[in-house]
Structure formats: structure tokens, C-alpha cells
Amino acid sequence: MMRFPGVLLVFLVPVTQVSSNVEGDKMSVTRAPGTAVSFTCALTQNTNYIHVYTKKEGTAPQRLFYYDIYYSKFTLESGDSPEKYRVYAGTSKSYTFTMLYLEERDSGTYYCALWDKHWKKIFEKALELIVAPYDINLASDLSPKPTVFLPSIAEIKLHNAGTYLCLLENFFPNVIKVYWKEKNGNKVLESQQGNTMRTTNTYMKFSWLTVSKTAMDKEHKCVVKHEKNRGGVDQEIIFPSVNEVVTSVVTTTEPPNDCLNDGSKVTVTDSKKVCQKDESNSLQLQLENTSAYYTYLLLLLKSSLYFATIISCLFRRTVCSSGKTS
């Protein structure tokens, strides 16, 4: 007997519905084609019908089916086979729905809905489902891979502020949440987000935080929520304080007092003493690294715009050709 993997989800809406995720508030659930997924509606009021809706990207929600609790009967509106769906009554107000034989077209956001006593339909998100393409190996490491960029000395000196940048690459699925906090703080800080972009069959995203002068002595962290994080816990990427960045650069660029400045060889007798020829070398290297990355992002953006323009031109050309033919 085949056993299908299931995910149990319960919802909560004030007064009429309860919603919480018993598996740790998962942002998304990824499944391979041909498998199954489950979600549970827990109701806090009596009702005769449970409605299930699905929403695809760029479209309005559409009702998939509604379930008659009294007669234990499905009424499908999606054109799918009745064999695709199962329902299991856990308690008098708990119903688990299972979708079988998943296909890529089943990917989307699923909602449970019911009418309240004022004839108002209440929606609650039940499941963010991603059915992976066949070329995605779900057993591999699909968690976001971070690359960090620290503030440049030039920015710190010029603006009395520093910008941290966190680049996340090679993750799947594309559902991801990134936010920033002080290392030992609980407040979510205002930050900037780039769009989640597809790269071959995985995704990338970047986020940055600008730290003002008053917070330059504090460490910060970039928190990444993603379904495929190792151990199912949020990634916390620690960034040193801006002042520490400045200190480390100054320490490695200022020559000690006993260093020779005439170009002859220096024998280091104390491991803590480092002799550098020119402070500008380290600064220049850091500036080059920062500039190279922002140049990369700019080129990536330009490539995306160029691609969109080409697609638009090809589409218009196809439409015009069709008009002339007719």
C-alpha cells in the first residue's frame, strides 16, 4: 500500500476560523510530481460547506471545489478527476483534505473559506504548494547560500553610515523571507529587498541594510526564512559592527612603528605586528570588490530589461504577422 507524505496545516481567523501551522509556520511546502500533500481546516463555528480555493501567480483566486459536510460529498469546479481528492474528518470541526498525483500545474496558494453568520466569506491561507520540476533533486541542498558584503571605508567616511549587503543564491523554491535585526535585538529593522530572480533552475535574491552613525557600534544579523534551511531553522548571518570594520582596516593598513620604510626586507618577530607599504592598497581592494559587485548587479538588471524588451518585440512581431496572414 502506497503511503503519501502529508503536511498538516490548521488555520486561524478571528471569530470564525482558527489558523496555525503545526509544523512550525512553514512558508511553503515542496513536493515531487506524483506525490501528495494534505492540509487541515479547523473550524470554530458550525457550517454546512467548506470551500477550497487556489490562486496561481498573476490570476484571481478560483474555487477548486466545495465539500458538503452533511452528505460527505465533493462538488468539483476545476475539471479534475474526483480521484485526485480525499477528505478525512478528524473531529466534528476538523477536516483534512489530501491532493493526490500532484503535477507542476498544481503549484499555487490554497485557501479554505466559509460563510460566516453575516454571509461574509472568510478566506485563510492554507498552503503554499510548489510541485518541483523533474530536473530538481529535492534530496540535494537547496537552502539559500549567503555571500556577505561589508561597508566600504569610502562610504563610512563620506556618509557617516555603512551598508551591509547579503546575497542569497542557489535556493529552491522561490518562496523566501529576509529581514534584518540587531544581533541581540528583537526589532525588525527597515531594509531594502531586491526581487527574487531565477538563475537556471534555482533562485537568487539580495537584501541590504544601511546603518546610521548611531548604530555603527552594534553588530547586526540578516535572518533568512526558507523551507529548505538546514534543520528547519532560520539562518542568521552575523555582520560585524561598522566600527569594527573600520578598526580592522586601519589595523591592517597602518604600519607599526618599528617597520622599515626604505623598501628593505622586514623580519617579523611579533606575530601581532604587521607591516604594510601603503594604506591605500587595502582600501583600493575593498572598493574594487564593492564596485565589482554593484556592477554585476547593474549588468544583471540590464540583462533582465533587455530580455523583457526582446520578448515584447517578438510578441508584437508575431501578432502583426498573424494579422497580415488573416
pLDDT band at 182 (very low <50, low <70, confident <90, very high): very high
* Lowest-confidence segment of 16-20, 195-199, 245-249 by average pLDDT: 16-20
- Asked if 10-131 and 145-258+271-300 have one fold, the answer is yes
- In the predicted model, what is the mean pLDDT of residues 148-154? 92
Length of the chain: 326
Please give the pLDDT value at position 40.
85
* Cα atoms in the Cβ-side hemisphere of radius 13 Å centred on 115: 8
pLDDT at 141: 95
The pLDDT score that the predictor gives to residue 47 is: 82
Binned at pLDDT 50, 70 and 90, residue 309 comes out as confident
| All cell numbers assigned to 32 | 515531487
Give the predicted TM-score (pTM) of the model.
0.66
- What's the pLDDT score for residue 121? 73
User: Per mean pLDDT, which range of 55-64, 163-172, 255-264 is the poorest?
Assistant: 255-264
- Most confident region among 19-28, 237-246, 289-298 by mean pLDDT: 237-246
pLDDT in tens, 24-60: 346 799 999 999 999 988 776 778 888 999 999 888 9
**Selection from 211, 174, 180 nearest residue 193 by Cα:** 180
Mean pLDDT of 113-128: 77
Domain ranges across the chain = 10-131, 145-258+271-300
Average pLDDT over residues 79-96: 83
Express each pLDDT in 217-259 by its tens digit: 999 999 999 999 999 899 999 999 999 988 877 655 545 444 4
**pLDDT computed for residue 48 by the predictor:** 85
- What pLDDT score does 297 carry? 64
Round the average pLDDT of the chain to a whole number and report it.
Answer: 77
Q: Inform me whether the pLDDT recorded for 265 exceeds 50.
A: no
CATH superfamily of 145-258+271-300: Immunoglobulins (2.60.40.10)
- Residues 6 or more apart whose Cβ sits within 8 Å of residue 112: 11, 17, 39, 41, 50, 51, 52, 53, 123, 124, 126
Closest CA to 166 of 226, 223, 128, 232: 223
pLDDT at 224: 97
Q: Which of 12-16, 19-23, 150-154, 257-261 has the highest mean pLDDT?
A: 150-154
Residue type, 86: R
3-state secondary structure the chain: CCCCCCCCCEEEECCCEEEECCCCCCCCEEECCCCCEEEEEEECCCCCEEEEEEECCCCCCEEEEEEECCCCEEEECCCCCHHHEEEEEEECCEEEEEECCCCHHHCEEEEEEEECCCCCEEEEEEEEEEECCCCCCCCCCCCCEEEEECCCHHHHHHHCCEEEEEEEEEECCCCEEEEEEECCCCCCECCEECCCEEECCEEEEEEEEEECHHHCCCCEEEEEEECCCHHHCCEEEEECCHHHHHHHHHHHHCCCCCCCCCCCCCCCCCCCCCCCCCHHHHHHHHHHHHHHHHHHHHHHHHHHHHHHHHHHHHHHHHHHHHHHHC
Q: What is the pLDDT of residue 240?
A: 94
Higher pLDDT, 255 or 306: 306
Distance CA 216, CA 54 (A): 46
What pLDDT is stored for residue 306 in this prediction? 66
The mean-pLDDT minimum among 57-61, 109-113, 262-266, 296-300 falls in 262-266
Q: Is the dihedral of CA 97, 2, 24, 89 positive or negative?
A: positive
Which pLDDT does position 30 carry in this prediction?
96
Select, from the ranges 21-25, 132-136, 258-262, 288-292, the one with the highest average predicted confidence (pLDDT): 132-136
Q: What is the pLDDT of residue 318?
A: 60
Does position 110 have pLDDT exceeding 60, yes or no? yes
- Give CATH for domain 10-131: 2.60.40.10
